[in-house]
Amino acid sequence: MATLHNRVSRKELKQKALQDTTPRTTLSFYCYFHIEDPASFRDTWYREMSKFFVLGRVYIAHEGVNAQISCPDEHIEDLRAIIESAPALKNLRLNKAVDEHRNSFYVLDIKVRNKIVADGIEDPLFSMQNKGKYVTADTFNEMVKDPNTMVIDMRNHYEYEVGRFRNAIEIPSDTFREQLPMAAEMFKAEKDRNIIMYCTGGIRCEKASAWMLHNGYKNVFHLEGGIIHYINKVREMQLDNNFIGKNFVFDERLGERITEDILSNCHICGASCDAHVNCANAACHLLFIQCDACRDKLSNCCSKECQEFVHLDLVEQKKRRQGIDKGRNIFNKSKKRMEELSKKKNSSL
């Protein structure tokens, strides 16, 4: 019987992937549909995808599937056959990465979750059956010309910070579960206007559109395939592009360059920059924006304190890391986090 879990360390798997020169394509897909037995579904996909050296992250729940993966080019049709073995996934759109990079993933993780995207919704009357209308790239471009149309970004703050659609409205938060009630509350006076919601690949804005309709909004739309599909269609159909900056992605790349516009600044010195990095201190691992000069000055760390930590003996580092919960360390617009950022600047400059 084939193994259904990774039995090799992630460090070893990453090194192996870096040495592999096989042409690969980064793909993402999702679908809301009922899965009776997510655990069995998960094991089947893990077994089959492993045969073709698929790497990436896949979430499976009773409500459907959500995947971001890297597949050898020679096995894309094999992958499609695995996906379409589920009747609900026939002819499913596979979003191809905008800014291709062979090493987007180094391991295959397929996990069973309560939801394929954490939403915090507990209302038993909520249903994904009643969701907003799809908007294609060309229709989106036409609709945004109308002043009666609102464009709402359903991504986290750190995604919006580096790239977004022109005139898009941010819902300043760190998680999708925080955004949903905020969105329903923020636009109460706009319930009769056209609302277009968007996200990276479509999964969050599709659920958000259903939530808005559930809360009494009337004319709700969501961008088909999200930013990724929009950019691919813009290039394919030679349409005007309304997205500027960088599209944040949740893999090793941490971003796809869409336009040369730099919309954000280094969180350490304030220089124009949109390069996300994780602090080299494993006890911190903060996701933040850092310019090359600060990266060199701080040894890939977010502060002098973390820089000093990584230069400690490895045994001492491990000892000090015990019991530390990194959580989801990210920069956001909350007062507390901005105060922390200010302190880091003062201690790092």
| Catalytic sites, residue numbers | 199
DSSP string of 105-132, one letter each residue: -SSEEEEE-S-SS------TT--TTS-P
Sequence-ordered list of residues with C-beta below 8 angstroms from that of 40, at least 6 positions apart, any chain:
none
CB atoms within 10 A of CB 28: 26
- Distances in Å between the alpha carbon of 225 and those of 38, 72, 173, 199, 238? 24, 22, 22, 9, 17
Residue type, 64: G
Which residues have C-beta within 8 Å of that of residue 26, sequence separation ≥ 6?
68, 69, 70, 96, 97, 100, 101, 104, 105, 251
Phi-psi sector, 289: left (phi>0), alpha (psi -120 to 50), beta: beta
25 near 76, Cβ under 8 Å?
yes
- Six token digits for residue 106: 């180094």
- Cβ–Cβ under 8 Å, residues 182 and 171: yes
